[in-house]
Amino acid sequence: MKKFTLAFSLIMTMFTAAMAQENVDFSNGKFDGQWGDKETLSMWTSTDGLQIVSTDANGNEVGSMKYYNNRFTLYINENVATPIKYTITVPEGYCLTEMKVKNSTKSHNAHIDYDWSSYSLYNTTAEKAIEFVEGVNEFYLYGLVGRTIYLTSLTITKTGEETAIDEVKGENGKVKTIYDLTGRCVNEIAKPGIYIVDGKKVLVK
């Protein structure tokens, strides 16, 4: 059993390293179908097809995003009651892995609600990392009208495709995908437990 566990861990390390993570380039995209960084708009689309849409509580698109001074800003519009809902759509073959947000000022009592968890940004301007659960692509921003926070990074992970390490493949010839029991797409097995590898339960001791 120990030899199997060691061999399995080695294989996991090899093919999980091959799963490509990418950071979204916020400086290279369009707002509402047009280039520009001055207006506060409701839809942003990257050149790779990733899309972020902001809506109010009734599902109406609202202007709450802009890219200005080299920052991707989430803005609480004075004409819209909070919270603002953000929906992220990633290109086919990818899953959301992590985003990082930062408060624009310590005094802004902003918080992000995501997947039944609340992440407070109050009294800090340090980056806050939020891990995405596979299949959940929405979060809510609460805060004072007229204030902003910054979306500093957004990470996506390629799933189910071959990479440069082509000798580590599943039976169908493709690199396997790994999920933990919460449904989150992960790129490495960091601790013992039960994982879903290529659709099958695997126990790692």
CB atoms within 10 A of CB 34: 8
Contact 87, 111 (CB under 8 A): no
Q: Are residues 12 and 62 in the same domain?
A: no
Which domain range does residue 176 map to? 2-19+159-204
Confidence (pTM): 0.69
Q: Are residues 113 and 132 in the same domain?
A: yes
Q: Are residues 65 and 130 in the same domain?
A: yes
Contact 95, 185 (CB under 8 A): yes
Q: How big, in percent rounded to 5, are the helix, strand and coil portions of the chain?
A: 10, 40, 50
**111 compared with 8, residue with greater pLDDT:** 111
Count of structural domains within the chain: 2
pLDDT for 35? 55
Q: Are residues 189 and 126 in the same domain?
A: no
Q: Are residues 147 and 70 in the same domain?
A: yes
Taking the CA atoms of residue 39, residue 84, residue 43 and residue 66 in that order, the dihedral angle to the nearest 10 degrees is: 30
Question: What DSSP designation does 34 have?
Answer: B
Which region among 13-22, 29-38, 50-59, 132-141 has the lowest average model confidence (pLDDT)?
A: 13-22
pLDDT greater than 70 at residue 172 = no
Average pLDDT over the chain reads 79
Q: With bands split at pLDDT 50, 70 and 90, how would you rate the model's confidence at 49?
A: confident
pLDDT greater than 70 at residue 38 = no
pLDDT greater than 80 at residue 48 = yes
